[in-house]
Structure 1
Amino acid sequence: MSTPHVIVVMGVAGTGKTTIGPLVAEALGVPYAEGDDFHPPANIAKMSAGTPLDDADRGPWLDAIGAWAHERAGRGGVVSCSALKRGYRDRLRAAAPEVVFLHLTGDRALIERRMAERKGHFMPTALLDSQFATLEPLGADERGVAVDVSGTPEEIAARAADALRVVPAA
Protein backbone atom coordinates (compact mmCIF):
# COMPACT_ATOMS: atom_id res chain seq x y z
CA MET A 1 0.00 0.00 0.00
CA SER A 2 1.39 3.36 -0.94
CA THR A 3 -0.60 5.22 1.73
CA PRO A 4 -1.68 3.43 4.87
CA HIS A 5 -5.38 2.67 4.78
CA VAL A 6 -7.73 2.87 7.71
CA ILE A 7 -9.22 -0.62 7.80
CA VAL A 8 -12.53 -1.52 9.40
CA VAL A 9 -12.61 -5.21 10.30
CA MET A 10 -16.27 -6.15 9.90
CA GLY A 11 -18.48 -9.20 10.21
CA VAL A 12 -20.97 -10.90 12.45
CA ALA A 13 -20.17 -11.64 16.08
CA GLY A 14 -17.76 -14.53 16.48
CA THR A 15 -15.86 -14.10 13.20
CA GLY A 16 -12.75 -13.02 15.10
CA LYS A 17 -12.68 -9.25 14.61
CA THR A 18 -11.00 -8.75 18.00
CA THR A 19 -8.48 -11.53 17.36
CA ILE A 20 -7.71 -10.87 13.69
CA GLY A 21 -7.76 -7.04 13.87
CA PRO A 22 -4.64 -6.68 16.05
CA LEU A 23 -2.78 -9.29 14.00
CA VAL A 24 -3.57 -7.45 10.76
CA ALA A 25 -2.58 -4.13 12.34
CA GLU A 26 0.74 -5.62 13.42
CA ALA A 27 1.37 -7.08 9.95
CA LEU A 28 0.67 -3.68 8.36
CA GLY A 29 2.55 -1.66 11.00
CA VAL A 30 -0.41 0.47 12.09
CA PRO A 31 -2.30 0.88 15.40
CA TYR A 32 -5.38 -1.13 16.34
CA ALA A 33 -8.54 0.07 18.11
CA GLU A 34 -11.13 -2.28 19.58
CA GLY A 35 -14.57 -1.33 18.29
CA ASP A 36 -16.34 -2.61 21.40
CA ASP A 37 -14.52 0.08 23.40
CA PHE A 38 -16.49 2.73 21.48
CA HIS A 39 -19.88 1.40 22.69
CA PRO A 40 -21.65 3.47 25.32
CA PRO A 41 -22.47 1.54 28.53
CA ALA A 42 -26.17 1.38 27.59
CA ASN A 43 -25.33 -0.61 24.44
CA ILE A 44 -23.23 -3.13 26.37
CA ALA A 45 -26.01 -3.55 28.95
CA LYS A 46 -28.56 -4.11 26.19
CA MET A 47 -26.45 -6.73 24.39
CA SER A 48 -25.51 -8.42 27.68
CA ALA A 49 -29.23 -8.83 28.34
CA GLY A 50 -29.62 -10.60 24.98
CA THR A 51 -31.33 -7.69 23.24
CA PRO A 52 -30.06 -6.75 19.76
CA LEU A 53 -29.08 -3.14 19.20
CA ASP A 54 -31.22 -1.05 16.89
CA ASP A 55 -30.07 1.64 14.50
CA ALA A 56 -30.59 4.38 17.08
CA ASP A 57 -28.30 2.51 19.50
CA ARG A 58 -25.62 2.09 16.86
CA GLY A 59 -25.54 5.73 15.69
CA PRO A 60 -23.29 7.19 18.42
CA TRP A 61 -21.09 4.09 18.30
CA LEU A 62 -20.60 4.38 14.53
CA ASP A 63 -19.92 8.12 14.84
CA ALA A 64 -17.21 7.49 17.45
CA ILE A 65 -15.54 4.87 15.25
CA GLY A 66 -15.85 7.17 12.23
CA ALA A 67 -14.17 9.98 14.18
CA TRP A 68 -11.28 7.65 15.10
CA ALA A 69 -10.93 6.57 11.45
CA HIS A 70 -10.99 10.21 10.31
CA GLU A 71 -8.20 11.10 12.78
CA ARG A 72 -6.08 8.22 11.38
CA ALA A 73 -6.49 9.30 7.73
CA GLY A 74 -3.17 9.17 5.88
CA ARG A 75 -1.49 7.40 8.79
CA GLY A 76 -3.47 4.17 8.75
CA GLY A 77 -5.04 2.06 11.41
CA VAL A 78 -7.25 -0.93 12.01
CA VAL A 79 -10.51 -0.84 13.96
CA SER A 80 -13.05 -3.58 14.55
CA CYS A 81 -16.72 -2.77 13.90
CA SER A 82 -19.43 -5.20 12.86
CA ALA A 83 -20.61 -2.72 10.14
CA LEU A 84 -23.26 -5.23 9.14
CA LYS A 85 -25.44 -2.91 7.04
CA ARG A 86 -24.49 -0.89 4.00
CA GLY A 87 -25.97 2.16 5.74
CA TYR A 88 -23.57 1.70 8.66
CA ARG A 89 -20.62 1.49 6.28
CA ASP A 90 -21.91 4.57 4.44
CA ARG A 91 -21.98 6.41 7.78
CA LEU A 92 -18.37 5.39 8.46
CA ARG A 93 -17.35 6.46 4.93
CA ALA A 94 -19.06 9.83 5.46
CA ALA A 95 -16.74 10.43 8.42
CA ALA A 96 -13.66 8.85 6.82
CA PRO A 97 -14.02 8.45 3.03
CA GLU A 98 -10.75 6.55 2.69
CA VAL A 99 -11.76 3.56 4.86
CA VAL A 100 -11.33 0.05 3.51
CA PHE A 101 -13.41 -2.84 4.83
CA LEU A 102 -12.07 -6.26 5.74
CA HIS A 103 -15.14 -8.51 5.86
CA LEU A 104 -14.48 -11.65 7.90
CA THR A 105 -16.81 -14.35 6.62
CA GLY A 106 -17.40 -17.95 7.49
CA ASP A 107 -19.61 -20.93 8.02
CA ARG A 108 -22.35 -20.29 10.58
CA ALA A 109 -21.62 -23.52 12.50
CA LEU A 110 -17.93 -22.60 12.85
CA ILE A 111 -18.77 -19.08 14.03
CA GLU A 112 -21.34 -20.35 16.55
CA ARG A 113 -18.85 -22.86 17.94
CA ARG A 114 -16.20 -20.15 18.35
CA MET A 115 -18.71 -17.86 20.07
CA ALA A 116 -19.67 -20.63 22.50
CA GLU A 117 -16.00 -21.22 23.36
CA ARG A 118 -15.05 -17.62 24.14
CA LYS A 119 -15.05 -16.41 27.71
CA GLY A 120 -16.04 -13.07 29.22
CA HIS A 121 -17.69 -11.50 26.16
CA PHE A 122 -20.99 -9.65 26.44
CA MET A 123 -22.44 -10.92 23.13
CA PRO A 124 -24.42 -14.15 23.66
CA THR A 125 -24.70 -16.79 20.92
CA ALA A 126 -28.47 -16.22 21.00
CA LEU A 127 -27.92 -13.00 19.02
CA LEU A 128 -26.06 -14.71 16.16
CA ASP A 129 -29.25 -15.24 14.13
CA SER A 130 -30.04 -11.52 14.34
CA GLN A 131 -26.50 -10.73 13.20
CA PHE A 132 -26.79 -12.95 10.10
CA ALA A 133 -30.26 -11.55 9.36
CA THR A 134 -28.88 -8.00 9.48
CA LEU A 135 -25.70 -8.68 7.47
CA GLU A 136 -25.45 -7.01 4.07
CA PRO A 137 -22.19 -8.21 2.48
CA LEU A 138 -19.89 -5.70 0.82
CA GLY A 139 -21.20 -4.38 -2.47
CA ALA A 140 -19.10 -4.46 -5.62
CA ASP A 141 -18.72 -0.67 -5.34
CA GLU A 142 -17.39 -0.77 -1.76
CA ARG A 143 -13.62 -0.69 -1.16
CA GLY A 144 -12.72 -3.81 0.68
CA VAL A 145 -12.01 -7.52 0.71
CA ALA A 146 -13.73 -10.59 2.12
CA VAL A 147 -11.63 -13.21 3.89
CA ASP A 148 -12.82 -16.59 5.13
CA VAL A 149 -12.24 -17.26 8.84
CA SER A 150 -11.36 -20.93 8.59
CA GLY A 151 -7.89 -21.77 9.87
CA THR A 152 -5.76 -20.38 12.63
CA PRO A 153 -5.82 -16.68 13.54
CA GLU A 154 -2.33 -16.32 12.08
CA GLU A 155 -3.41 -17.89 8.76
CA ILE A 156 -6.51 -15.70 8.56
CA ALA A 157 -4.54 -12.54 9.38
CA ALA A 158 -1.87 -13.38 6.78
CA ARG A 159 -4.54 -13.87 4.08
CA ALA A 160 -6.20 -10.62 5.12
CA ALA A 161 -2.97 -8.59 5.15
CA ASP A 162 -2.02 -9.94 1.73
CA ALA A 163 -5.45 -9.05 0.31
CA LEU A 164 -5.36 -5.57 1.86
CA ARG A 165 -1.90 -4.77 0.50
CA VAL A 166 -3.28 -4.76 -3.05
CA VAL A 167 -6.30 -2.53 -2.38
CA PRO A 168 -5.68 0.65 -4.38
CA ALA A 169 -5.58 4.06 -2.72
CA ALA A 170 -8.82 6.04 -2.78
Structure 2
Amino acid sequence: MFNVKLKFNSVSEIVGNTDIGLLVLTDEEEKRQLTITCDKFMIHEFSIRTIKSDITKDRLPEAIGQVLKVGCMNIEVRIYDIIDGEYQATIFDKIAQVSTNIRVSDSILLATTCDIPIYIDDELMKAQSVKYVKGQNRMSLPVNALTDEMLKTSLDNAIKEENYEMAQYLSEEIKRRKQN
Protein backbone atom coordinates (compact mmCIF):
# COMPACT_ATOMS: atom_id res chain seq x y z
CA MET A 1 0.00 0.00 0.00
CA PHE A 2 1.51 3.31 -1.08
CA ASN A 3 0.45 5.38 1.88
CA VAL A 4 3.66 7.03 3.10
CA LYS A 5 4.11 10.38 1.42
CA LEU A 6 7.70 11.52 1.08
CA LYS A 7 9.26 14.88 0.53
CA PHE A 8 12.68 15.77 -0.81
CA ASN A 9 14.97 17.02 1.94
CA SER A 10 18.50 17.35 0.59
CA VAL A 11 21.23 16.13 -1.72
CA SER A 12 24.84 15.58 -0.74
CA GLU A 13 28.00 13.91 -1.92
CA ILE A 14 29.62 11.01 -0.14
CA VAL A 15 32.84 12.19 1.47
CA GLY A 16 35.77 10.89 -0.56
CA ASN A 17 33.63 9.86 -3.53
CA THR A 18 32.42 12.62 -5.85
CA ASP A 19 30.82 10.12 -8.24
CA ILE A 20 28.08 9.05 -5.84
CA GLY A 21 25.55 11.25 -4.12
CA LEU A 22 22.76 10.79 -1.63
CA LEU A 23 19.20 12.01 -1.98
CA VAL A 24 17.50 12.31 1.38
CA LEU A 25 13.73 12.01 1.53
CA THR A 26 11.69 12.29 4.71
CA ASP A 27 8.15 11.44 5.63
CA GLU A 28 5.83 14.42 6.00
CA GLU A 29 6.27 14.53 9.78
CA GLU A 30 10.07 14.45 9.38
CA LYS A 31 10.37 11.49 11.74
CA ARG A 32 11.93 8.98 9.29
CA GLN A 33 14.33 9.41 6.41
CA LEU A 34 15.08 7.36 3.34
CA THR A 35 18.46 7.76 1.66
CA ILE A 36 18.80 6.99 -2.03
CA THR A 37 22.05 6.86 -3.96
CA CYS A 38 22.46 8.75 -7.21
CA ASP A 39 25.20 9.52 -9.72
CA LYS A 40 27.24 12.72 -10.05
CA PHE A 41 25.07 13.97 -12.90
CA MET A 42 21.98 13.84 -10.68
CA ILE A 43 23.89 15.63 -7.90
CA HIS A 44 24.50 18.40 -10.42
CA GLU A 45 20.83 18.51 -11.51
CA PHE A 46 19.64 18.90 -7.91
CA SER A 47 22.39 21.37 -7.06
CA ILE A 48 21.56 23.76 -9.89
CA ARG A 49 17.95 23.80 -8.74
CA THR A 50 18.90 24.94 -5.25
CA ILE A 51 20.12 28.26 -6.60
CA LYS A 52 17.44 30.70 -7.61
CA SER A 53 18.19 31.45 -11.26
CA ASP A 54 16.83 30.92 -14.76
CA ILE A 55 19.43 28.25 -15.55
CA THR A 56 16.86 25.44 -15.34
CA LYS A 57 13.85 27.08 -16.97
CA ASP A 58 14.26 25.25 -20.31
CA ARG A 59 15.39 21.90 -18.91
CA LEU A 60 13.37 18.71 -19.48
CA PRO A 61 11.84 18.34 -15.98
CA GLU A 62 10.67 21.96 -15.97
CA ALA A 63 9.22 21.67 -19.49
CA ILE A 64 7.38 18.46 -18.59
CA GLY A 65 6.13 20.17 -15.44
CA GLN A 66 4.58 22.96 -17.49
CA VAL A 67 2.84 20.46 -19.77
CA LEU A 68 1.55 18.47 -16.81
CA LYS A 69 0.17 21.59 -15.11
CA VAL A 70 -2.05 22.44 -18.08
CA GLY A 71 -2.83 18.82 -19.01
CA CYS A 72 -5.26 16.48 -17.40
CA MET A 73 -2.82 13.94 -15.98
CA ASN A 74 -3.04 13.10 -12.31
CA ILE A 75 0.26 11.39 -11.56
CA GLU A 76 2.39 10.38 -8.63
CA VAL A 77 5.74 8.73 -8.10
CA ARG A 78 5.68 5.36 -6.36
CA ILE A 79 8.76 3.72 -4.86
CA TYR A 80 7.87 0.05 -4.61
CA ASP A 81 10.98 -2.12 -4.10
CA ILE A 82 14.74 -2.34 -3.78
CA ILE A 83 16.67 -4.81 -5.91
CA ASP A 84 20.44 -5.24 -5.66
CA GLY A 85 20.90 -1.87 -4.01
CA GLU A 86 18.68 0.08 -6.39
CA TYR A 87 15.26 1.39 -5.49
CA GLN A 88 12.54 0.70 -8.04
CA ALA A 89 10.05 3.41 -8.94
CA THR A 90 7.18 4.11 -11.29
CA ILE A 91 5.25 7.10 -12.43
CA PHE A 92 1.62 6.18 -11.85
CA ASP A 93 -1.24 7.83 -13.73
CA LYS A 94 -4.18 7.68 -11.33
CA ILE A 95 -6.76 8.44 -14.03
CA ALA A 96 -5.66 5.85 -16.60
CA GLN A 97 -4.46 3.45 -13.86
CA VAL A 98 -1.17 2.79 -15.69
CA SER A 99 2.42 3.02 -14.56
CA THR A 100 5.78 3.44 -16.23
CA ASN A 101 9.08 2.37 -14.68
CA ILE A 102 11.61 5.13 -14.13
CA ARG A 103 15.00 5.40 -12.47
CA VAL A 104 14.30 6.48 -8.91
CA SER A 105 16.62 9.51 -8.94
CA ASP A 106 14.95 10.74 -12.15
CA SER A 107 11.53 10.27 -10.56
CA ILE A 108 12.54 12.32 -7.53
CA LEU A 109 13.94 15.09 -9.74
CA LEU A 110 10.74 15.15 -11.77
CA ALA A 111 8.59 15.10 -8.64
CA THR A 112 10.43 17.91 -6.90
CA THR A 113 10.60 20.03 -10.04
CA CYS A 114 6.95 19.53 -11.01
CA ASP A 115 5.37 19.30 -7.56
CA ILE A 116 4.34 15.66 -8.07
CA PRO A 117 3.70 13.66 -4.88
CA ILE A 118 6.09 10.84 -3.98
CA TYR A 119 4.81 7.77 -2.16
CA ILE A 120 6.49 4.66 -0.87
CA ASP A 121 5.14 1.30 0.16
CA ASP A 122 4.62 1.33 3.94
CA GLU A 123 6.51 -1.93 4.53
CA LEU A 124 9.44 -0.78 2.38
CA MET A 125 9.61 2.49 4.31
CA LYS A 126 9.63 0.62 7.62
CA ALA A 127 12.40 -1.69 6.42
CA GLN A 128 14.61 0.92 4.76
CA SER A 129 14.18 4.16 6.68
CA VAL A 130 16.05 5.41 9.71
CA LYS A 131 15.20 8.04 12.28
CA TYR A 132 15.50 11.57 10.88
CA VAL A 133 17.50 14.05 12.92
CA LYS A 134 17.32 17.60 11.59
CA GLY A 135 20.74 19.16 11.00
CA GLN A 136 22.61 15.89 11.37
CA ASN A 137 25.65 15.74 9.10
CA ARG A 138 26.00 11.94 9.16
CA MET A 139 23.43 9.43 8.03
CA SER A 140 22.88 5.71 8.02
CA LEU A 141 22.40 3.84 4.80
CA PRO A 142 21.10 0.25 4.81
CA VAL A 143 23.56 -2.15 3.17
CA ASN A 144 20.88 -3.36 0.76
CA ALA A 145 20.58 0.23 -0.49
CA LEU A 146 24.17 0.17 -1.75
CA THR A 147 24.83 -0.56 -5.39
CA ASP A 148 27.16 -3.43 -6.26
CA GLU A 149 29.93 -0.92 -7.00
CA MET A 150 29.46 0.78 -3.64
CA LEU A 151 29.50 -2.58 -1.87
CA LYS A 152 32.82 -3.52 -3.46
CA THR A 153 34.36 -0.15 -2.60
CA SER A 154 33.08 -0.39 0.97
CA LEU A 155 34.45 -3.93 1.28
CA ASP A 156 37.87 -2.78 0.06
CA ASN A 157 37.83 0.10 2.55
CA ALA A 158 36.76 -2.16 5.43
CA ILE A 159 39.64 -4.55 4.70
CA LYS A 160 42.10 -1.66 4.36
CA GLU A 161 40.94 -0.28 7.72
CA GLU A 162 41.08 -3.79 9.23
CA ASN A 163 37.39 -3.68 10.11
CA TYR A 164 36.92 -7.40 9.53
CA GLU A 165 33.45 -7.59 11.06
CA MET A 166 32.19 -5.02 8.56
CA ALA A 167 34.13 -6.71 5.77
CA GLN A 168 32.44 -10.03 6.54
CA TYR A 169 29.02 -8.38 6.62
CA LEU A 170 29.61 -6.69 3.25
CA SER A 171 31.05 -9.89 1.78
CA GLU A 172 27.92 -11.80 2.82
CA GLU A 173 25.71 -9.21 1.09
CA ILE A 174 27.77 -9.53 -2.10
CA LYS A 175 27.47 -13.34 -1.99
CA ARG A 176 23.72 -13.13 -1.35
CA ARG A 177 23.27 -10.95 -4.43
CA LYS A 178 25.35 -13.28 -6.61
CA GLN A 179 23.17 -16.22 -5.55
CA ASN A 180 20.02 -14.34 -6.49
TM-score (norm: length of structure 2): 0.28
Larger of the two Rg values belongs to structure? 2
Higher strand share: 2
Higher helix share: 1
TM-score (norm: length of structure 1): 0.29
